[in-house]
Chain A
């Protein structure tokens, strides 16, 4: 995890906020619940696409950050992350942390 974070800081596009700044944002859980309906179209069936319910917000934020900056590679997730603003990422991370796995 730490290695990934260090790398992310090195290769981030200008529009990707540093992970520390994302962690500072208090997420709107109700907004996150709405935004999460996009995620459930693919996440939740098991197999190749992991479940998200109950993930710690730090993990979710770093994953979204890494997809946006290109440290983690998946065309779908890159596109999803690119369409999310910092407040939206914070809202999603806050919501999924409240969910029971």
Chain B
């Protein structure tokens, strides 16, 4: 079934309230539907189900049966992590009493408070949580659209794209060239493209040492820049070149058929070209009429949509303020939203929102791992989620501390994926 977008956007809040009231009273348990089984959605579903002890009926809609994390996928590209180790299934969530539906959510009827599924039918909700992650903006990079992703992979959603880029790197001729077109702000995982360059360089260093890397970047600055540049000099001297906006990085088009990148008129050929295009919120929040521009604005106190109090939007898709778009952020936001949803539906206690994020990046993996991190804590203000203080690794730290930071990231990966998907 298809829902007409105009139909559910045009009607008033009073009607929605009138429809939702008998739905709550006329059934045994309030219903929460969660769209998207990634960092935000899986965490929210798990915490609502677990902490309400069955008082809330939770349905999680996620098309994939195995979710491959985007975080740590660079370590797979670098040859220090297997692809299988990035995969997580939904069995533990189902065992916790969550109704896991493997289907695509294709529309939201905000007046009827239902979510329609590609496979047919629709699910009613009292509260809806949307955590769809990102989509790419077609046409934002001249020459690139989603149909070009087999020739020039983005590898910026976990799964088959990650495997494709890895296969292309392994098939690269000796002394070949890897070109990355870095994304404009804002995008998911700010250090991600530069950790990727580090891990590709780590792979080249030991498997294709005369290969080279060119980064084409329209941004003046990037996350952890001093740390990455120091690390590239130390571990991969002469291998990596970056063209920023002063050198044509802001005037770029690509030709997937020719495997070329046009940088302000200079045409460069790549053996492997990784295009990470401009991003926007996942499609369903646009379809539901919850966006302003590319992202969905939310209230900092509970991650509820600024346009619909019964819908919470988590993670990369949301516009919330100071937090970076990351799996860690989505997990943190999901816990605040889960608390708010339980409070609204079951009168459980609600506490002031607190958020946190830490992003680890691996610069070099072999022998002496070189790991760095950046993080911050956040609170809700009227206006946005606002940083209350942060930290970042420093250039020149000793190798022992950097190795410890990497080992921390390994423990974090295991902890946060258990926190999202339940104990395996």
Contact = CB atoms under 8 A, between A and B. Distances in A.
A79 B389 contact: yes
A38 B351 CA distance: 13
B391 A40 contact: no
Interface in B320-350: 328, 331-332, 335, 339, 349
Q: Is the interface on chain A under 10, 10 to 19, 20 to 34, or 35 or more residues?
A: 20 to 34
B354 A83 contact: yes
B318 interface: no
A79 B328 contact: no
A79 B412 CA distance: 16
Q: Is the interface on chain B under 10, 10 to 19, 20 to 34, or 35 or more residues?
A: 20 to 34
B404 A41 contact: no
A43 B410 contact: no
A34 interface: yes
B349 A41 contact: no
A41 B415 contact: yes
B144 to A, nearest CB: 34
B114 interface: no
A79 to B, nearest CB: 5
Given A41-B328, A48-B404, A79 B376 contact: yes
Contacts, number: 85
A41 B331 contact: yes
Interface string B233-251: 0000000000000000000
B50 to A, nearest CB: 11
A46 B389 contact: no
B413 interface: yes
B416 A41 contact: yes
A47 B351 contact: no
Contact of A42 (B391, B392, B411): B411
Interface in B377-424: 377, 388-393, 404, 407-408, 410-419
Contacts of A41: 328, 331-332, 356, 412, 415-416, 419
Interface of B: 47, 328, 331-332, 335, 339, 349, 351, 354, 356, 358, 373, 375-377, 388-393, 404, 407-408, 410-419
14 contacts: A40-B419, A41-B419, A42-B358, A45-B417, A47-B410, A47-B411, A48-B408, A48-B410, A48-B411, A49-B412, A49-B415, A75-B375, A79-B375, A79-B376
Interface of A: 30-31, 34-35, 37-38, 40-49, 75-76, 78-80, 82-83
